Amino acid sequence: MIPVQRYSGKTVAVLGLGRSGLATVAALQAGGADVVAWDDSPDAADKAEGARAELRDLTRAGSFDDVAALITSPGIPHLYPEPHPAIARALSEGCPVDNDIGLFFRSFATDDWHGFDTIPKIIAITGSNGKSTTSALVHHILEEAGRPTQLAGNIGRGVLDLDPAHDGEVIVLELSSYQTELARALTPDVAVFTNLSPDHLDRHGGYGGYFAAKRRLFSLGGPDRAVVGVDEVEGRYLANQLIEGQGDDRVIRISAGQKLDGHGWSVFARKGFLSEYRKGRQMASIDLRAIPGLPGAHNHQNACAAFAACRSIGIGPRVIEQALHSFKGLPHRSQLVADRGGVRFVNDSKATNVDSAAKALAAFDRIRWICGGLEKEGGLDGLLPAPTVVKAYVIGREAAGFAMKLKGVEAEVCGDMATAVARAAQDAQPGEVVLLAPAAASFDQYDSFEKRGDDFAAQVAQLD
């Protein structure tokens, strides 16, 4: 646990008593704060009692009279589409609002660090797609290199659940736009921006607000190194804002398709090969094509981001290359769940938006595509045409309507996962891939994309 500093003897309010909220309560208490809490759920009183915190209705007038700060869970809206009533109350009564990420960055460094030979570092990773795989890959490379490391944030453990830092340790954080938008402190040593595509637009008031939330990771704390994906104009703009000149190697540009060999520092993948260039000279090259845990151009971009982040803290190219080969990938992200008679079954349930689904479709040649669910804003045009798709098998409560939008793609309305897997398996020929890449949220049929991916794997396991 990371005890929260600066609030000893003060009253701090916590909104939301889920996983991150409960960890925040404990970390505040460990730092000497008195905690009051509020949660909208019917069992809020039981949650507060279990956390040894006073339950207080933070939506009522005067509820922040003695409160030094309100700490809110990332899933609770604080601005768009409208603030939660408790946050609106805090804003109107002048109470500072923060989240656990902000607390972490202000509390992680301690006086014990004066005795360390090597000061701990933080690598923070954000972006629309690939940030979970990139974070896990960086963590894996660090482990294989023998560096002490912990992984947290939007993946795995909450940030305040981390253990206090060890000498020379590297903390790897995956940070969502919900987390970066509100945190009052963001000071990573290395910040990574993978890419940008439309997502969570209602929460950020549009595409510009979404990009602004990501950009705060770079503008608020000023990282020593920035790794920036430049395949979209927003990434090119961000990289430009951070440099002092063309040869400024504090920014490492990355790409999943274009050659970057200018005066600065760059890492890019083309035709399955990763290349590192510095000051116009090639420094390293890795053949990514035979690495099973990183299939497709989108995973090659993840490899570039992880490679650049690890190179920025002094890990050698050959060490990174060996670690890439032993990386198994993450569940629900281009995860091979079975190979039956020459037909591969791949679970990419995390492909919940059009951009991530398009990248999954580009990773394989002949695809039996399981898709559908709760369609996101923006439509499906970014997926079409889909030349690698032999046939689509559509699930979800609105499967028929979803199928009608797949112009130029043969589609069969299946409705549920069991039917889709059975029909796709029956039709598939050796050399083809049955791919779950929904291009939609899961909440019309499942509690989460993980549950949807688990159901896919379970149905594949039951095939005759």
197 is in an annotated binding site: no
Q: Which two tokens stand for residue 270?
A: 């083309």
329 is in an annotated binding site: no
Please report, for residues 272, 303, 317, the alpha-carbon distance to residue 286 in angstroms, rounded to integers and kept in the order given.
Answer: 9, 10, 9
Q: Any idea how long the chain is?
A: 464
59 is in an annotated binding site: no
350 is in an annotated binding site: no
Distance from C-alpha of 149 to C-alpha of 323, rounded to nearest angstrom: 15
The 3-state secondary structure of 402-453, one letter per residue: HHHCCCCCCEEEEECHHHHHHHHHHHCCCCCEEEECCCCECCCCCCCHHHHH
334 is in an annotated binding site: no
Rg, the chain, Cα only: 23
The distance from CA 50 to its chain's CA centroid, rounded to whole angstroms, is 30
* Peptide bond before residue 81 is cis, with ω within 30 degrees of 0: yes
* Phi, psi dihedral angles at 438 (to 5 degrees): -65, -25
Strands 389-395 and 281-287: unpaired
Please report, for residues 384, 441, 446, the alpha-carbon distance to residue 397 in angstroms, rounded to integers and kept in the order given.
Answer: 22, 12, 11
130 is in an annotated binding site: yes
Closest CA to 410 of 375, 432, 385, 440: 385
Distance from C-alpha of 56 to C-alpha of 36, rounded to nearest angstrom: 6
Q: How deeply is 255 buried, as exposed, middle or buried, from its count of CB atoms within 10 A (0-12, 13-18, 19+)?
A: buried
Placement of tokens 């974070």 in the chain:
135
How large is the greatest C-alpha to C-alpha distance in the chain, in angstroms?
68
Q: Which residues pair with 269 in a beta bridge?
A: 274
Distance from C-alpha of 182 to C-alpha of 71, rounded to nearest angstrom: 10
The answer to whether 68 and 11 have CB atoms below 8 angstroms apart is yes
99 is in an annotated binding site: no
> DSSP 3-state assignment of 169?
coil
Distance from C-alpha of 297 to C-alpha of 197, rounded to nearest angstrom: 16
Per the annotation, binding residues for ATP are 127-133
Per the annotation, binding residues are 127-133
